[in-house]
C-alpha cells in the first residue's frame, strides 16, 4: 500500500503558508520564490537565477552544487544573503522526488530586527505561524525595559555616590572625616606606597571659642581647612578627626626635609589671624609627623599613636612647633 | 499594580497637566512616595487614590481621565514604544482588535510580573466587535477605550466605540468598524529604532 500519495499543489498555496520559500530545480535554478523573498531581493531577479548566486551556504560548508543537496542529512542549513548586508538566514531543506526539485524555506532567525529594517518588511510578510512578530515585540519590549533599568541603575549610582560622599565628609569644613581616613589607611597599605602621617592640633582654639563664641570658632576651622587643602596635593588626604584635630595623609612623600618645610609653612599660614565680624581670631598649630618607612610592617594604629606622641612632643616644646619622628 | 503602569501614569499627568498637579496630588494624599519606581509594585489602592485626587483637583470624572491616559499612550511621541508594541498586534485595525486577546500573554513574555487585564474579542456580526475587558485594576477598560479610539486614527480607520455593558468584573466595549481604510493612518515602521 502506498502510504504517501503525491499531493498536487500550487505555488500559491505555498506562498500563503511559507512566504519565504524557494523551489529549486535539479540544476540549481530557482523556479519559484515566495513573496517575501521577492521583496528581500527588491529589483533583482530571483526566478531563473542560480541559488548559489543569491545565497551563500555557510553550513554545511561542503555543498557547492545542487546535486549535493540531496546528500544533506541535516534539516537545518545556515545561509547568508549575497548582498551588501550579508544578512544571515536559517533554512529548512527538503528534496521533493516527484517534482525533482528542492524546497528551501527560509527564516531570519536572530537577525529579524535588522532584516525588517533593511528590507522594509511588515507583519504580513511573515507566516502567521512564524514567531517573527513576537520576536520584534520582544526586542522592542526588551529595549524599553533595558532603558528603564539603566536609568534606574544610574539614578541609584548617583544617589549612592552622594550618600557615600556625605558619609565620608565633615559637614562643617568639607574635609574628609574619620571614616574616610580609615578607608584611606586601608587602601594606602594595600598599595604599598610609602607615605607619611601628619597629625595637627590647633593651639589656643579653645580660647577663641570661649572668648568670641562658636561661630568664630567655626570660621577659624573653615579657614584652617582651606589652608590645609591649599598646602597639600590632590593625592593627599586631609581629614578633620576631632574638634580641632586634623590628620593629613601625604602620599609617596617621606623626605623629612620636605615634610619639615610643609609643617613649617602650615603653622606659618595658620597663625595668620582670621577676621570674623571685625574680630581678629588668632590660633596656631602643633604638628607631629611619622613616616611609613620607619616601620618594617606599617600599622595604621601604631602610626597614629606615634604621630600623636610626636604631636605632644611639639606641644611640650612650647606649641606652634612640629616634630618629625624618625 | 505594576510600577510601570503607575510610572507611565505619572508621566502622563506631568506632561499633560504639569509637574505641580502631580506633586500636588501626592502631597495631598500624604503617601510616603516621592517618585514612582517603574520596577516596583504598588498596592492598587495607591493608584486609585491618585486617580481620585486627580479627578478632584482637575474637576474631571475618573473615566474620562483614564480614557485620556489611553489616548496619550498611543498619540504622544514621548511614549512611542507603547504605540509600537500595540501596533505590532496587527497589520490593520481588525487584525489589531483580534490581537487584543494576546496582549496579556505578550506583555507577560516581556515583563513576567506585569499583569494586564484579560480581554476577549467577539465578532458578533460583520464589522461589529464586542471587546470584553476585565475590570482589574478598576477602571482599566476605560484606558483601553482611549487606546482603541486613538489607534483607530492611527490605522486610519473609522470606528464607532462605546461602552455597552459594565459590571463590577467586566466592561464591554462595542466597536463598529465603519470603514477600515477611511483616512491615511500614521506611518508605522516595523523596524525597531536604533537597528539598521
- ∠ at Cα B75 (B72, B80), nearest 5°? 95
Q: With b meaning 16 or more CB within 10 Å and e meaning fewer, what string describes B160-187?
A: ebebeeeeeebbbbebebeeeebeebee
When mean pLDDT is compared across A123-127, A231-235, A241-245, B10-14, the lowest value belongs to A123-127
Q: Do B190 and A116 touch (CB under 8 A)?
A: yes
Q: Which residues of A146-157 are buried (b: 16+ CB within 10 A; e: fewer)?
A: eebeeeeeeeee
Judge: A134–B109 Cβ closer than 8 Å, yes or no.
yes
Question: Closest residue of B to A123, CA-based?
Answer: B91
Instruction: Give A236→chain B minimum CA distance, Å.
Output: 39
The strand ranges marked E within B47-126 are 119-125
Task: For residue B2, give the DSSP letter.
Answer: B
Phi and psi based region of residue A297 (left: phi greater than 0; alpha: psi -120 to 50; beta: remaining)? beta
CA A148 to chain B, closest CA, distance in angstroms equals 7
If chain B, 196 residues long, is cut into consecutive pieces of 10 residues, what is the mean pLDDT of each piece? 93 96 92 82 93 97 97 92 84 91 88 92 95 94 97 94 95 93 78 52
Per-residue pLDDT at A115 exceeds 50: yes
Contacts of A131 by beta carbon, 8 Å cutoff, 6+ apart: none
Q: What is the distance between the alpha carbons of residues A255 and B116, in angstroms, rounded to a whole number? A: 70
Beta bridge partners of A80: A56, A88
In chain A, which residues touch B (CB < 8 A)? 113-114, 116-118, 121-124, 133-134, 136-145, 148-149, 152
Domain boundaries, chain A: 11-130, 133-167, 178-324
For residue range B56-86, what is the model confidence (pLDDT) as tens digits? 999 999 999 999 999 999 999 888 888 988 8
* C-beta atoms of B88 and A137 within 8 A: yes
| Ramachandran angles phi, psi of A220, nearest 5° | -65, -45
Predicted local distance difference test score (pLDDT) of residue A132: 86
C-alpha distance from B121 to closest chain A C-alpha (Å): 19
Q: What is the pLDDT of residue A7?
A: 61
Distance CA A323, CA B6 (A): 64
- Which of A113, A138, A144 shows the shortest C-beta gap to B109? A138
For the beta sheet containing A21-24, the strands, ordered from the edge strand earlier in sequence to the opposite edge, are A30-33, A21-24, A101-107, A88-96, A76-81, A55-59
> With contact defined as beta carbons under 8 Å apart, do B156 and B185 qualify?
yes
| pLDDT (0 to 100) of residue A321 | 87
Structural domain A178-324, CATH architecture: 2-Layer Sandwich (3.30)
Alpha-helical (H) ranges within chain A are: 11-17, 35-41, 51-54, 112-118, 132-167, 178-191, 205-212, 214-231, 256-270, 300-316
- Half-sphere exposure of residue A79: CA atoms within 13 angstroms, side-chain side: 25
pLDDT for position A8: 64
Tell me whether residues A145 and B194 touch, CB distance under 8 A.
no
Nearest to B196 among A117, A121, A142 (CB): A117
Distances in Å between the alpha carbon of A167 and those of A155, A224, B83?
18, 21, 44
Q: Do A136 and B4 touch (CB under 8 A)?
A: no
- The DSSP bridge partners found for residue B128 are B125, B176
Say yes or no for a CB contact (<8 Å) between B109 and A141.
Answer: yes
Residue whose C-alpha cell is 544578512: A87
Q: Compute CA distances A304 → A199, A249, B25, whole Å.
A: 8, 11, 55
Average pLDDT score, chain A? 89
Interface A:B, Cβ pairs < 8 A:
63
Minimal C-alpha gap between A103 and chain B (Å): 28
In the prediction, which pLDDT does B194 show? 43
- The proportion of chain A whose per-residue pLDDT surpasses 70, expressed as a percent, equals 96
A43 in Cβ contact with A28 (< 8 Å): no
Which of B39, B107, B195 has its CB closest to that of A148? B39
pLDDT in tens, A129-180: 888 888 888 888 888 888 888 888 998 999 999 998 899 999 999 999 999 9
Residue B32 is placed in which grid cell?
A: 510616603
How many Å lie between the alpha carbon of B160 and the closest alpha carbon of chain A? 26
For residue B107, the chain A residue with the least C-alpha distance is A141
Q: Domain A11-130 belongs to what topology?
A: Beta-Lactamase (3.30.450)
Q: What is the DSSP letter of B60?
A: -
Which residues of B, range 105-164, sit inside 8 Å of A by Cβ? 106-107, 109-111
Dihedral (CA of B130, B131, B137, B139) sign: negative
Total residue count of chain A as it appears in this document: 326
Average pLDDT over residues A83-102: 89
Residue A141 and residue B39: Cβ atoms within 8 Å?
A: no
pLDDT, position A4: 58
Distance in Å, alpha carbon of A141 to nearest chain B alpha carbon: 6
Question: pLDDT band at A5, cuts 50/70/90?
Answer: low
pLDDT value, residue A138: 86
Task: Give the pLDDT confidence score for residue B167 in this predicted structure.
Answer: 93
| Band of pLDDT at residue A1, cut at 50, 70 and 90 | very low
Whose CA is closest to A240, among A185, A203, A292, A200? A200
Vertex B17 angle, CA B15 and B20, to 5°: 95
pLDDT for A262:
95
CB-nearest to B196 from A114, A142, A143 is A114
Q: In this predicted structure, what is the pLDDT of residue A60? A: 82
Residue B195 is predicted with a pLDDT of: 39
The CA distance from A133 to B176, in Å, is 26
Domain assignments of chain B as residue spans, ordered by start: 3-60, 92-179
pLDDT at A19 over 80: yes
Closest by Cα among A175, A197, A205, A153 to A291: A197
Cβ-based neighbours of B21, under 8 Å, separated by 6 or more: B13, B14, B54, B57, B58
Q: At residue A2, does pLDDT exceed 60?
A: no
> Does the beta-carbon distance from A117 to B191 stay under 8 Å?
yes
Q: How far apart are CA A243 and CA A42, in angstroms?
A: 79
- Among A27-41, A52-66, A88-102, A220-234, which stretch is predicted with the lowest mean pLDDT? A52-66
CATH of domain B92-179: 3.90.1520.10
Contact across the interface for A117 and B4, Cβ inside 8 Å: no
State the helix-helix crossing angle for B80-87 and A132-167, rounded to 10 degrees: 160
A93 touches A72 (CB < 8 A)? yes
d(CA A47, CA A32): 6
Contact B109 A136 (CB under 8 A): no
Task: Work out the average pLDDT over A193-209.
Answer: 93
- Please name which of A74, A80, A112 lies closest in space to residue A95, comparing C-alpha atoms: A74
| Interchain contact B167–A (C-beta under 8 A) | no
Active site residues of A: 244
The DSSP annotation for A122-156 comes to -GGGS-TTSSHHHHHHHHHHHHHHHHHHHHHHHHH
Residues of A in contact with B190 (CB under 8 A): 116-117, 121-123, 136
- Maximal C-alpha separation, chain A: 119
Amino acid at each position: 500500500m502506498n502510504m504517501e500519495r503525491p499531493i498536487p499543489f500550487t505555488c500559491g498555496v505555498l506562498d500563503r503558508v511559507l512566504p519565504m520559500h524557494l523551489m529549486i530545480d535539479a540544476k540549481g535554478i530557482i523556479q519559484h520564490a515566495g513573496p517575501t523573498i521577492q521583496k528581500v531581493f527588491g529589483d533583482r531577479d530571483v526566478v531563473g537565477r542560480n541559488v548559489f548566486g543569491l545565497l551563500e551556504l555557510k553550513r554545511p560548508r561542503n555543498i557547492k552544487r545542487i546535486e549535493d543537496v540531496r546528500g544533506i542529512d541535516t534539516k537545518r542549513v545556515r545561509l547568508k544573503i549575497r548582498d551588501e548586508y550579508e544578512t544571515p538566514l536559517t533554512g529548512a531543506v527538503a528534496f521533493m522526488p516527484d517534482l525533482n526539485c528542492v524546497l528551501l524555506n527560509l527564516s531570519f532567525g536572530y537577525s529579524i530586527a535588522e532584516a525588517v529594517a533593511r528590507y522594509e518588511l511588515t507583519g504580513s510578510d511573515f507566516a502567521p505561524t512564524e514567531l517573527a512578530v513576537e520576536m520584534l515585540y520582544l526586542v522592542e519590549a526588551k529595549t524599553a525595559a533595558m532603558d528603564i533599568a539603566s536609568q534606574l541603575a544610574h539614578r541609584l549610582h548617583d544617589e549612592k555616590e552622594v550618600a557615600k560622599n556625605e558619609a565620608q565628609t565633615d559637614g562643617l569644613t568639607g574635609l574628609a572625616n574619620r571614616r574616610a581616613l580609615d578607608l584611606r589607611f586601608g587602601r594606602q597599605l594595600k598599595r604599598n606606597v610609602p607615605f607619611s602621617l601628619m597629625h595637627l592640633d590647633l593651639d589656643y582654639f579653645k580660647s577663641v571659642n570661649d572668648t568670641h563664641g562658636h561661630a568664630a570658632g567655626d570660621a577659624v576651622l573653615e579657614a584652617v581647612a582651606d589652608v590645609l587643602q591649599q598646602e597639600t596635593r590632590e593625592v593627599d588626604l586631609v581629614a578633620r578627626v576631632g574638634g580641632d584635630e586634623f590628620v593629613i595623609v601625604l602620599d609617596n612623600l617621606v623626605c623629612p626635609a620636605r615634610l619639615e618645610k610643609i609643617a613649617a609653612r602650615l603653622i606659618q599660614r595658620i597663625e595668620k589671624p582670621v577676621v570674623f565680624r571685625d574680630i581678629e581670631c588668632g590660633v596656631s598649630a602643633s604638628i607631629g609627623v611619622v613616616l611609613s618607612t620607619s616601620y618594617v610592617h606599617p600599622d595604621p594604629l601604631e602610626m597614629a599613636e606615634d604621630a600623636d606622641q610626636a604631636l605632644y612632643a611639639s606641644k611640650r616644646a612650647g606649641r606652634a612647633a612640629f616634630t618629625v619622628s624618625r | 499594580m505594576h510600577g510601570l503602569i503607575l510610572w507611565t501614569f505619572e508621566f502622563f499627568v506631568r506632561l499633560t497637566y504639569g509637574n505641580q498637579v502631580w506633586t500636588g496630588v501626592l502631597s495631598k494624599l500624604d503617601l510616603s512616595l516621592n517618585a514612582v519606581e517603574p520596577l516596583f509594585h504598588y498596592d492598587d489602592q495607591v493608584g486609585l487614590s491618585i486617580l481620585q485626587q486627580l479627578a478632584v483637583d482637575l474637576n474631571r470624572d475618573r473615566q474620562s481621565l483614564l480614557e485620556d491616559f489611553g489616548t496619550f499612550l498611543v498619540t504622544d511621541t514621548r511614549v512611542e514604544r507603547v504605540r509600537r508594541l500595540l501596533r505590532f498586534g496587527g497589520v490593520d485595525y481588525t487584525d489589531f482588535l483580534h490581537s487584543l486577546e494576546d496582549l496579556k500573554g505578550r506583555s507577560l513574555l516581556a515583563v513576567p510580573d506585569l499583569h494586564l487585564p484579560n480581554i476577549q474579542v467577539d465578532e458578533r456580526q460583520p464589522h461589529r466587535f464586542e471587546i470584553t475587558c476585565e475590570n482589574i485594576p478598576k477602571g482599566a477598560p476605560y484606558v483601553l477605550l482611549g487606546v482603541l479610539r486613538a489607534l483607530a486614527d492611527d490605522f486610519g480607520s473609522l470606528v464607532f466605540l462605546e461602552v455597552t455593558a459594565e459590571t463590577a468584573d467586566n466592561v464591554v466595549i462595542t466597536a463598529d468598524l465603519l470603514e477600515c481604510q477611511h483616512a491615511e493612518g500614521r506611518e508605522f515602521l516595523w523596524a525597531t529604532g536604533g537597528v539598521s
